Amino acid sequence: MKISNINFENNVFLAPMAGITDIVFRGLCKELGCGLVYTEMVSAKGLYYGSSNTESLMKISSIEKPVVIQVFGNDPKIMASACEIFNARDDICMIDVNMGCPVHKIVKNGEGSALMKTPKLAAEIIREMKKVSTKPVTVKFRKGFDSGSINAVEFAKYMEDAGIDAMAVHGRTREQMYQGAADWDIIRAVKENVKVPVIGNGDIFSVEAAVKIREATNCDAIMIARGAMGNPWIFREITQAINAEEVIYPTPDEKLDMCIKHLDLAVKYYEEIKAVREMRKHTAWYIKGLKNCSEIKNKINTKDNYDEVRKVLLAYKDYLRDINM
């Protein structure tokens, strides 16, 4: 897989997800065969005005490099100024522009998926960024803003004309948020109408879905979002399937080991209370479907201490081993 002048080991990527694809989770996915990871979305205005919170989202570990930084905003000049910061970072390989986020607080400011309503402004943003950036610039957008404005193909052409190096397409409108089925036909339509690489995104929760979206869209790469939550093995599984190898799925033991490793790394990078509370959602995803998982989830949700949470997880691991002997 190649974007501009950059080659990647494989074409199975981790999507940017706010509050999820942090430095810890990205590293775990990379270890398990993810071809490319994206940061949580970073505010161009936050960078421009020196926000410490924005800076914290840009921490990158050695194991996950090179990383795509995802940035959002609607001011072409401020978006271009962010590129100057990214140019100096050798741990950042590309800059991705968020034009697909459906969250109200982003959309109401004319950012994220709201830019699909103003393709000329969106194109101006890309042109200004390309003037400054020494790295490839990519974009992620949706099928359209709502059911009355399905304009992904037209939007993709605006992006290509502006000089974009690759694009990721999520097969839902902003109106849908994450409801209903993703429309893979729109991804195929985009692929058929542009020459730059197209990355397909939406409803890839299994090896089977990954194979099907490749066949249905002829996309150059696939991007896994919610399908990776609690399941970083999905990258290894999909790559094995693509290479016609035996697909190896994680055991309950491996799921608990990964959950504990995730917790250990979270405490390494964050203050204990923040790490423990952030791990509540991840733990729920890791243990989903396992025996008595609801009871364990509820127990962990009452803990704010790292040692106590780790003790609960280790005891749960032993319990699962015992009942499966």
Active site residues: 101
Closest CA to 72 of 104, 36, 46, 108: 46
**DSSP secondary structure string, 246-312?**
PP-PPPHHHHHHHHHHHHHHHHHHS-HHHHHHHHHHHHHHHHTTSTTHHHHHHHHTT---HHHHHHH
Between CA 19 and CA 25 the distance in angstroms is 10
Label the pairing between strands 137-144 and 2-3.
unpaired
Q: Copy the structure tokens of residue 194.
A: 């542009």
Q: Which runs of consecutive H residues, i.e. helices, occur in 112-206?
A: 119-132, 152-161, 184-193
Q: Copy the structure tokens of residue 254.
A: 């491996």
Between CA 140 and CA 272 the distance in angstroms is 33
User: Hey, what amino acid is at 230?
Assistant: G
Q: Copy the structure tokens of residue 226.
A: 């919610």
Q: How far apart are the first and last CA of the chain?
A: 43
Between CA 264 and CA 119 the distance in angstroms is 44
Closest CA to 40 of 55, 28, 62: 55
Between CA 122 and CA 74 the distance in angstroms is 8
